[in-house]
Amino acid sequence: MHRSPAGPAGMPRAESASRPGLSRGGTWRRGLIALAGLLLAACQTSGAQMAAIGGSTQQLPGLVRAPLALEVTMPDGDRETLDAFVTRPSGPGPYPVALITHGTSEDVYNRTLTPNRYSSTAIAFARRGYAAVMVLRRGYGHSTGRDMVTGVSCDNPGHQRAGEVARTDLLAALEAIRRQPWASPDKAVMLGSSTGGWAVLAAAAVNPPGVQAVLDFSGGRGASWVNVCGKAALLEAAAGFGQTARTPVLWIYAENDKEFSPALAREMFARYQAAGGTGELLVTPASGENGHFIMSQAPPTLWWPRVSEFLAARGLPSTELVKAQTAELPAPAGLSEAGKKSFARYLASMSYEKAFATDGREYWSWNSGYRTQQDAAQAVLTYCRQRSNSCVLYAVGDKLIPAVP
Among 26-30, 46-50, 115-119, 212-216, whose mean pLDDT is lowest? 26-30
Query: What are the DSSP calls for 252-310, one per residue?
Result: EEETT-SSS-HHHHHHHHHHHHHTT--EEEEEEPP-SS-GGGHHHHS-GGGTHHHHHHH
Does 187 fall in a domain?
Answer: yes
Tens digit of pLDDT for each residue in 242-260? 999 999 999 999 999 999 9
Among 67-76, 154-163, 356-365, 368-377, whose mean pLDDT is lowest? 154-163
- Picking from 284, 312, 340, the residue at the C-terminal end of a domain is 312
How would you list the strands of the sheet with 79-89, edge to edge?
63-73, 79-89, 131-135, 95-101, 183-193, 213-217, 249-254, 279-284
What is the value of pTM for the model shown?
0.89
Composition of the chain by helix, strand, coil, percent to 5? 30, 20, 45
Q: pLDDT tier at 156 (50, 70, 90 boundaries)? A: confident
Count of the separate structural domains present in the chain: 2
User: What value does the mean pLDDT take over residues 216-245?
Assistant: 92
Residues 51 and 80 in one domain: no
The answer to whether the beta carbons of residues 194 and 259 sit under 8 Å apart is yes
- Picking from 312, 347, 375, the residue at the C-terminal end of a domain is 312
Percent of the chain with pLDDT over 70: 86
User: What value does the mean pLDDT take over residues 348-367?
Assistant: 95
Residues 359 and 263 in one domain: no
Residues 45 and 140 in one domain: no
Among 1-15, 78-92, 263-277, whose mean pLDDT is lowest? 1-15
Residues 119 and 230 in one domain: yes
Tens digit of pLDDT for each residue in 311-355? 999 999 999 999 998 899 999 999 999 999 999 999 999 999 999
Query: How does strand 79-89 pair with strand 392-396?
Result: unpaired
Phi-psi region of 270 (alpha: psi -120 to 50; beta: other; left: phi over 0): alpha
The answer to whether the beta carbons of residues 6 and 30 sit under 8 Å apart is yes
Does 2 fall in a domain?
Answer: no
291 phi, psi to nearest 5 deg:
-65, -5
Give the type of residue at 373.
Q
Q: What is the CATH number for 132? A: 3.40.50.1820
Average pLDDT along the chain:
88
Residues 211 and 354 in one domain: no
Domain that holds residue 293: 63-312
Residues 131 and 227 in one domain: yes
Residues 349 and 298 in one domain: no
Q: Say whether pLDDT at 371 is over 80.
A: yes
Does 3 fall in a domain?
Answer: no
- Greatest distance between any 2 Cα atoms in the chain: 67
Residues 49 and 72 in one domain: no
Residues 269 and 347 in one domain: no
Q: How many CB atoms lie within 10 A of CB 56?
A: 14
Residues 106 and 235 in one domain: yes
Q: How many CB atoms lie within 10 A of CB 10?
A: 27
Extended beta strands in 131-273, E state: 131-135, 183-193, 213-217, 249-254
Residues 145 and 36 in one domain: no
Tens digit of pLDDT for each residue in 183-205? 999 999 999 999 999 999 999 99
Q: pLDDT tier at 6 (50, 70, 90 boundaries)? A: very low
The whole-number pLDDT of residue 38 equals 41
